[in-house]
């Protein structure tokens, strides 16, 4: 018998050291005396002991999230245990604030729809049609990829869209004989497989989990309910402005070494012919998608027409659409297939984010942090406030490898600031919510970036090079959308 102990690789102590550091940080902040209150006019804003403990737990979680010492879902669920252990709230309230939030069901419904869309083959068919329309010109192919990625990501999660776009993009590059790290067009096309989904994710509440965090905080903290259509009024114009800007920046940063790809339209036609007409599973999925989207958008008008008799919550519509994929006669996929493909870890992350974020707000810690970090925001001219918020949140995003984590941290702080100074909550929250999704600079900012990066066609430096400019452009696009739409809608 061989001695397996001697051949096993040495253990990596970094996760254990990160856990130890996070625990020490938690205890230090928890035991430290409260800092002096912050004076704002005639009012003193103090950090209460429960608020300080909330910040200690927040630092503990952020340390583990950033270092990835433990899986994101494990850290998230650990938060629900720490809140009652340190006396911030009781266990039932901590669980209810997360799992009891209806937006969890919204996210589960969207995950079901995303999984059905990917498994049915609709995404592959759509991209092939785009290639057919774009032809062989490299600039048009790039525009087609970023546009389709953005459109799809408005309705299904951005990571699922990146997973659909990646193999098609790699296929195009391999057919053209373009090698990893040696092709400018390869760099641009693979980065577009991330940028398209990231841009489209801000268009609707269904785009990403960070959007759901923002909606929940707006309702529970500020008492503001934003409908699907109201979100789109600001999100879609901002996304539309970013699509051509991102396309131009990618072409400027990585000028393609060839004007046309070495394939003919007939080859794309042949691949589409091989797919044949829409399969029954594709038709069923498309029908469910179309009906769900139409209901999301039309609900406010239908509620007015029916005097409120037909006014389903956005969460109920999403869940019904996801469940419809499993109805007898539909059966787009089996439950075991969905269970394997759905990101249940993302659900756990949203649960912890909601629970911890609400406690940070209710304990007064968010208000104290808002005054400490962003208390001078009111001195910035109103037209520039969205721009400042976008840049601030983008810098925070560099630290966290999750859109949901970023949204969970910044949203309670900004809403506390809006309430303190009488600012419009949605106008302040929208730029932050959108930027929580826009991880343009570092590969590690979002799993949506990691998928295209894994193909090997671009480096981390390549993404930073174009991402800094893209973030600035995004700040202008979001500022323009929020300002113009805000002025038109009052």
State which residues form the domain around 47: 14-489
Which of 397, 407, 387, 411 shows the shortest CA–CA distance to 478? 387
- Evaluate whether 351 touches 211 at the Cβ level (below 8 Å): no
Q: Are 77 and 345 in contact (CB under 8 A)?
A: no
Residues 341-375: pLDDT tens digits? Answer: 776 776 776 677 677 767 776 787 776 776 776 66
Does residue 417 lie within any of the structural domains?
A: yes
Residues in the chain: 490
- At 43, which helix (H) or strand (E)? strand 43-45
How far is the C-alpha of 40 from the C-alpha of 22, rounded, in Å?
32
pLDDT in tens, the chain (490 residues): 344 444 444 456 888 898 999 999 999 999 999 888 877 666 677 888 888 898 898 889 878 876 778 877 788 889 889 989 998 888 888 888 777 777 677 778 877 877 777 777 776 777 677 777 777 788 998 998 999 899 888 887 777 788 777 777 877 887 778 888 889 999 999 999 999 999 999 998 888 777 888 888 888 888 888 888 889 999 999 999 999 999 999 999 999 998 887 766 677 777 778 777 888 888 888 888 888 878 877 776 777 777 667 777 777 887 888 888 888 877 778 888 778 777 677 677 667 767 776 777 678 777 677 677 666 776 777 678 888 888 888 877 765 556 676 777 778 878 887 887 777 888 888 888 888 888 898 776 776 887 788 778 888 789 889 999 999 999 999 999 988 887 777 6
**Which helix or strand (DSSP H or E) is residue 348 part of?**
helix 344-362
Q: How many helices (H) and strands (E) does the chain have?
A: 23, 2
Q: How far apart are CA 409 and CA 228, in angstroms?
A: 23
Distance CA 107, CA 109 (A): 5
| Burial class for 368, CB neighbours closer than 10 Å (0-12, 13-18, 19+) | buried
Q: What is the pLDDT of residue 254?
A: 94
Q: Which of 269, 318, 262, 405 is nearest to 116 (CA)?
A: 318
In a domain, 180, yes or no: yes
pLDDT at 26: 92
Question: What is the pTM for the complete model shown?
Answer: 0.68
Residue 406 lies in a domain: yes
**Residue 209 within a domain:** yes
Instruction: Say how far apart CA 487 and CA 448 lie, in whole Å.
Output: 33
Please tell me whether residue 333 adopts helix, strand or coil conformation.
Answer: coil
Residues 6 or more apart in contact with residue 444 via CB below 8 angstroms = 401, 450
Whether residue 76 is contained in a domain is answered as: yes
Q: What gap in Å lies between CA 216 and CA 223, rounded to an integer?
A: 10
What is the model's pLDDT at position 490?
A: 62
Grouping H, G, I as helix, E, B as strand and the rest as coil, residue 459 is coil
175: Cα separation from own chain's centroid: 32
Look at residue 50 and tell me if it is in a domain: yes
* Number of domains comprising the chain: 1
| Within-domain flag for 126 | yes
Scanning the structure block, which residue is given the tokens 């810098």?
A: 395
Q: Which two tokens stand for residue 267?
A: 């080859």
Question: What pLDDT is attached to residue 236?
Answer: 93
DSSP letter at 423 equals -
Token pair of 183 as six digits: 């092709």
Helices 344-362, 403-421: axis angle to 10 degrees equals 20
Q: What pLDDT, in 10s, does the model give residues 50-100?
A: 888 988 988 898 788 767 788 777 888 898 899 899 988 888 888 887 777
Residue 423 is assigned to a structural domain of this protein: yes
364: phi then psi, degrees, rounded to nearest 5: 90, -5
What is the rounded CA–CA span in Å between residue 254 and residue 139? 11
Tokens of 400: 């966290």
Q: How far apart are the first and last CA of the chain?
A: 78
How would you classify the pairing of strands 43-45 and 38-40? Answer: antiparallel
SS (HEC) of 249-292: HHHHHCCCCCCECCCCHHHHHHHHHHHCCCCHHHHHHHHHHHHH
Q: Give the H or E element holding residue 40.
A: strand 38-40
């Amino acid at each position: 018998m061989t001695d397996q102990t001697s051949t096993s690789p040495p253990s990596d102590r970094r996760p254990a050291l990160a856990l130890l550091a996070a625990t020490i940080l938690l205890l230090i902040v928890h035991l430290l005396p409260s800092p002096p209150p912050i004076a704002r006019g005639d009012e003193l804003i103090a950090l209460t002991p429960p608020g300080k403990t909330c910040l200690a737990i927040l630092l503990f979680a952020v340390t583990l999230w950033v270092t990835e010492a433990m899986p994101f879902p494990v850290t998230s669920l650990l938060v629900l245990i720490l809140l009652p252990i340190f006396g911030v709230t009781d266990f039932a309230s901590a669980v209810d604030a997360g799992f009891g939030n209806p937006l969890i069901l919204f996210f589960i419904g969207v995950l079901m729809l995303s999984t059905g869309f990917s498994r049915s083959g609709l995404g592959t068919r759509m991209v092939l049609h785009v290639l057919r329309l774009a032809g062989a010109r490299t600039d048009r192919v790039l525009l087609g990829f970023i546009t389709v990625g953005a459109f799809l990501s408005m309705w299904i999660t951005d990571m699922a869209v990146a997973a659909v776009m990646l193999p098609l993009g790699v296929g195009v590059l391999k057919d053209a004989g373009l090698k990893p790290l040696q092709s400018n067009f390869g760099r641009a096309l693979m980065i577009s497989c991330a940028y398209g989904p990231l841009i489209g994710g801000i268009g609707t509440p269904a785009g990403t989990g960070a959007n759901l965090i923002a909606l929940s905080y707006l309702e529970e903290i500020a008492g503001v309910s934003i409908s699907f259509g109201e979100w789109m009024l600001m999100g879609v114009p901002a996304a539309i402005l970013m699509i051509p800007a991102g396309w131009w920046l990618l072409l400027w940063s990585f000028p393609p070494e060839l004007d046309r790809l070495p394939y003919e339209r007939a080859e794309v036609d042949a691949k589409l012919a091989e797919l044949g007409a829409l399969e029954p599973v594709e038709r069923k999925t498309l029908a469910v998608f179309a009906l769900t989207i139409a209901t999301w958008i039309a609900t406010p008008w239908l509620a007015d027409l029916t005097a409120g008799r037909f006014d389903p919550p956005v969460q109920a519509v999403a869940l019904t659409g996801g469940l419809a994929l499993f109805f007898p006669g539909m059966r787009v996929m089996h439950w075991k297939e969905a269970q394997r493909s759905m990101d249940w870890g993302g659900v756990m992350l949203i649960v912890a984010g909601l629970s911890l974020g609400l406690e940070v707000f209710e304990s007064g810690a968010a208000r104290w942090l808002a005054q400490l970090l962003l208390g001078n925001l009111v001195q910035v001219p109103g037209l520039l406030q969205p721009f400042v918020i976008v840049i601030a949140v983008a810098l925070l995003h560099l630290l966290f490898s999750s859109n949901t984590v970023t949204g969970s941290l910044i949203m309670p702080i900004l809403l506390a600031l809006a309430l303190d100074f009488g600012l419009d909550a949605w106008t302040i929250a929208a730029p932050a919510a959108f930027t929580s999704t826009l991880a343009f600079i570092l590969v590690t900012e979002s799993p949506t970036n990691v998928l295209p990066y894994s193909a090997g066609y671009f480096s981390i430096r390549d993404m930073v090079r174009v991402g800094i400019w893209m973030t600035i452009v995004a700040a202008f696009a979001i500022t323009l959308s929020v300002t113009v739409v805000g002025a038109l809608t009052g």
